[in-house]
Amino acid sequence: MENKFKIASLWIPYQILTDKNLKDKEKIIYSLILFFSNNKGYCSIRNKYLEDLLARSTKRISSVINTLQDKKYIYIIPRNNTEERKLYPLVDIKDINKKVVFKGLFMPISVLSDNNLNDKEKFIISIIKKFNKITSKMLMY
């Protein structure tokens, strides 16, 4: 399968991964907003891009983005005649407890964009892949 999205995997920070106020889809979309906001502090990711990447409807994507704004995880500056919409992540992930060994999760693009998996299954498969890598390394020594 060709990767037209230009990312190999999505990093889901520990703070977001364990946040009980967020549903799985919100965690994934918030992590994508964080990923694409890395350089400027905001991103202009379009709902159509997220729809194609996550195999979800534009209506569902829009609903999740609005929910993230309602929950105060993002701030949105709407599109105008000269500029794209800007999504600003508001939750600071730099305050992660340093004592936590498992600080996040990489979700491979093949898992992230698999429309045969629901969001819970995407998380479970990604966690299994993570621990398989750790176990393989331990067995080598």
Domains and CATH numbers, the chain: 9-140 (1.10.10.10)
Going by C-alpha positions, the residue among 34, 35, 23 that lies closest to residue 63 is 23
pLDDT higher at 74 or 137: 74
Q: What is the mean pLDDT of residues 98-125?
A: 82
pLDDT surpassing 80 at residue 139: no
pLDDT surpassing 80 at residue 107: yes
Sign of the C-alpha dihedral, residues 105, 131, 136, 8? negative
Highest mean pLDDT range out of 9-13, 34-38, 121-125?
A: 121-125
How far, in Å, CA of 73 to CA of 55, rounded? 23
For residue 105, the model assigns a pLDDT of: 86
Report the chain's mean pLDDT, rounded to a whole number.
83
How far, in Å, CA of 92 to CA of 90, rounded? 6
pLDDT surpassing 60 at residue 21: yes
Give the pLDDT confidence of 45-71 residue by residue, as tens digits.
999 999 988 888 999 999 999 999 999
DSSP 14: H
Q: What is the mean pLDDT of residues 94-103?
A: 53
What dihedral angle (degrees, nearest 10) is formed by the CA atoms of 110, 113, 117, 121? Answer: 70
What are the beta bridge partners of residue 12?
A: 105
pLDDT surpassing 50 at residue 117: yes
